[in-house]
Amino acid sequence: MSTAVMPVRVTTAAQAAARDAAAIAAGTPSYSLMHRAGTSAAHAILAHVAEVRSAGAVVFCGGGNNGGDGWVVAGELARAGCPVSVVEVAAPSTDDATRAKAEALPALAGHAEPRHPAVVVDALLGTGATGALRDALLPHVDAIAATRAAGATVVALDLPSGIDATTGAGGRCVRADITLAFGTLKRGHLLRRDECGAIVCLDIGLGPHAALDDGAPTLVDAAYVRDAVPPIPADAHKGVRRRLGIVGGGEGMAGAPMLAARGAMRSGVGMVQLLVAPSNVPVVQAALPETMAGRWPVTAEDQDRVLHWTHCLLLGPGLGRTAMTRALVERLLVEWKGPVVLDADALNVFEGEPRMLGSLLGARPAIVTPHPVEAARLLRRDGASVSAERFAVGAELAKQLGATVILKGVPTVISAPDGRVAVSASGSPALGTAGSGDVLAGIVATLLAQTGDPFASACSAAWVHGRAGEIAVSEGSVRGTSLEDIVEALRRAWRLDEPAHHAAVLTTLPAVGSVR
Ligand SMILES: NC(=O)C1=CN([C@@H]2O[C@H](COP(=O)(O)OP(=O)(O)OC[C@H]3O[C@@H](n4cnc5c(N)ncnc54)[C@H](O)[C@@H]3O)[C@@H](O)[C@H]2O)[C@@H](O)CC1
Ligand SMILES: [K+]
C-alpha cells in the first residue's frame, strides 16, 4: 500500500521520544520542535475557539517540556492580541522550557489578564509523566475543571495531564475538549477518548522521522482506504463485484447473518448467499429478497454447490456454539481452500485451540474478527488483560493463527501474521451494540472477496464501519442511533471524504465521549 501522505503513527511515550530524538540527531534543534509545537498549537486554538481573541486564555505550565510548549502557546496568543495569563505550577526545569519562558515573557508583560477566559490550556504534563498525578498538581486540575464548568474550552497540549501516554492509565486527570497531539498520536489518546475530546494531531517538524520503523502501528484513515479498495468499474456486474457465502443463523439467530449480508450489500458486494438453519431459510428469504438463502451445507452435495459458487466464505454470525458448529466449520475449512472470514461462534468453538484453528486456515487469505472476550477465549486468557494489552494480544493471535486479526474495541487493532499492525480509531459508542460485529464481518468479507488482501481489507473495513457510526451519530444522537442507521450511513461513509484541514494538521478525530 502506498499513500500520498505519510500515515500517522500511534506511539508509546518512548516511541514518541525516540522520534523527537531521531529528528534532533539528524540536525533539527530540539527547541525548534518545541517552538513549532507551541506555535502550531496556538494557531489551532485561534482557529477552533474564535472567542479567545477577546476573552483570552489562561495557560497552566508544568516544569518539563510540556510546560515549555505552554509558554510558547502563551507568548503566541499574546502576540496575536489575546488576553493571556500563565499559572506557573513549576519553574522550567529543562533548557528548552527555560528558553520558551524567556521568549514569552516580553509578549506577556503588561498584557491584560483574562477575566472570563474562553480557553484553558493544560500544559502541566505530557509524555514525560510517570505514575499517578502528584498531589501538588491536583488543585490545578481542579482549577482547570472549574474554569471549564464556567464555560471555557479546555485545550490539552500533547495529552490531558494525568493520562499515561503509553497505557492510558490514570485516575484523576484533566478533562479536555480538544487535545492537540504533537507529531504522533499516543496510545493513551485512543484508550481515553472521553478525556481527550476532539483530537488534532499537529505536525511539529519531525519530517520522515515521524515514520520511524519501530513497529509503532499506523493509523488507518480515509486516504488509506481510498488506496486499498479499488473503485467499482463502469461495466461491473455481480461476478466482478464478487459472490459471498455467509454461514450462520442458528435457531433464533437469523438476524446475525442478515446484518452481515446488509453490511456486505452496502459495501459493494455482487451477490450474497445466506446458509442458515433449515428453519430460518424462509425467514431470511422473506426479509432479504435480494439475497439467496439455503440450508447449512452439511451434505457433500450442498457443499459442492456453495463452494463452486462463492468467492469468499464468512463463517460464524449467529451460528451457535455447538458441536455441530465445530464440525461444520472444520469441514468447510477442509473442503474450501479460498479466502475466509471467521467471526463469533466460528471462533468460540476453537476455545483454547488457536494452533488447531491456524492449521485449518493454512496459508490462505484469512481474517478473524474477535472482540476482546472472543480473543480471550481463543487464547485462554482473561478478557480484561486482552483489553489492557490489545496492541500486543492482536499481534500474538495473528502469529498463532497465521491470519489477520481485527481485535475490535476502542481502538480497534488490526494485526497481520507478518508483524504489521494498524489501528482504526474511527467510531462511536453507537457501534457498541448487538449486531454491530455482524455488519463489520459482512463488510470485511466483501473486501476480502474483492481484493484478496486480508490486511488491507481488515484495515479498510474497520475504518469504514467506524466512520459509518460517526456519520450516523453526527446526524442524530448516540442514544437514538440504531444499527439500521449505521448500515444506512455506510452509503455516505464509502464516499471516503476527509475533513479538509490546515497543512499543519496531520489528522483529526472527533470527540466521541460524553456525546448524547
Ligand atoms: N524534544 C522533545 O522531546 C519535545 C517535547 N515536547 C513536549 O515535551 C513533552 C515531554 O516533555 P518532558 O519529557 O520534559 O516531560 P513532561 O513535561 O511531560 O513532564 C516532566 C515533568 O513532570 C514531572 N512529573 C512526572 N510525572 C509526574 C506526575 N505523575 N505528577 C506530577 N509531576 C510529574 C517531572 O518531574 C518533570 O518535571 C511532550 O509531551 C511534548 O509536550 C515538544 O515540545 C516537542 C519536542
Ligand atoms: K498536557
* Nearest bound ligand to the CA of residue 92: 1
Cis peptide before 411 (omega within 30 of 0): yes
Number of the ligand 1 atom closest to the C-alpha atom of 13: 39
418 is annotated as contributing to ligand binding: no
Label residue 454 by pLDDT band (50, 70, 90). Answer: very high
Distance CA 83, CA 489 (A): 43
For residue 4, the model assigns a pLDDT of 44
| Mean pLDDT of all residues in 121-139 | 96
pLDDT score of 362 more than 60: yes
Higher pLDDT, 61 or 501: 61
Share of the chain above pLDDT 70, in %: 98
Report CA(96)–ligand 2 centroid distance (Å): 16
438 is annotated as contributing to ligand binding: yes
For residue 45, the model assigns a pLDDT of 98
- Among 28, 60, 66, 155, the mutation site with the greatest number of ligand 1 atoms within 8 A of its Cβ is 66
Torsion of CA 304, 307, 308, 314, to 10 degrees: 150
Amino acid letter, 68: G
Distance CA 462, CA 473 (A): 17
The response to whether residue 30 sits with its C-beta less than 6 Å from ligand 1 reads: yes
The response to whether residue 161 sits with its C-beta less than 6 Å from ligand 1 reads: no
The response to whether residue 158 sits with its C-beta less than 6 Å from ligand 1 reads: yes
Among protein residues, the one whose CA lies closest to atom 36 of ligand 1: 64
For residue 5, the model assigns a pLDDT of 63
Number of the ligand 1 atom closest to the C-alpha atom of 123: 41
| Mean pLDDT of all residues in 132-143 | 96
For residue 348, the model assigns a pLDDT of 96
Paired with 243 in beta bridges are: 271
The response to whether residue 162 sits with its C-beta less than 6 Å from ligand 1 reads: no
437 is annotated as contributing to ligand binding: yes
Residue-wise pLDDT for 376-403, tens only, equals 999 999 988 998 899 999 999 999 999 9
| Cα torsion 228, 4, 155, 89: sign | positive
| Beta strands, E only, 410-516 | 412-415, 421-424, 505-509
The response to whether residue 125 sits with its C-beta less than 6 Å from ligand 1 reads: yes
Report CA(66)–ligand 1 centroid distance (Å): 5
Cell of 58: 489562561
Among protein residues, the one whose CA lies closest to atom 5 of ligand 1: 65
> What residues contact residue 292 under an 8 Å CB cut-off, 6+ apart?
271, 272, 273, 274
The response to whether residue 166 sits with its C-beta less than 6 Å from ligand 1 reads: no
Q: Note residues around ion ligand 2 (Cβ under 5 angstroms).
A: 122, 156-157, 161
Strands of the 57-61 sheet, one edge to the other = 84-88, 57-61, 119-123, 153-157, 178-182, 198-202, 505-509
Residue 13 · residue 165 · CB < 8 Å = yes
pLDDT score of 516 more than 90: no
The response to whether residue 210 sits with its C-beta less than 6 Å from ligand 1 reads: no
Length of the chain: 516
- Among 12, 59, 65, the mutation site with the greatest number of ligand 1 atoms within 8 A of its Cβ is 65
Read off the pTM.
Answer: 0.95
Report CA(180)–ligand 2 centroid distance (Å): 9
Distance from chain centroid for Cα 79: 36
For residue 389, the model assigns a pLDDT of 93
Which secondary structure element, helix H or strand E, spans residue 339, and what is its range?
none
Label residue 502 by pLDDT band (50, 70, 90). Answer: confident
For residue 514, the model assigns a pLDDT of 63
For residue 193, the model assigns a pLDDT of 96
Distance CA 470, CA 222 (A): 13
345 is annotated as contributing to ligand binding: no
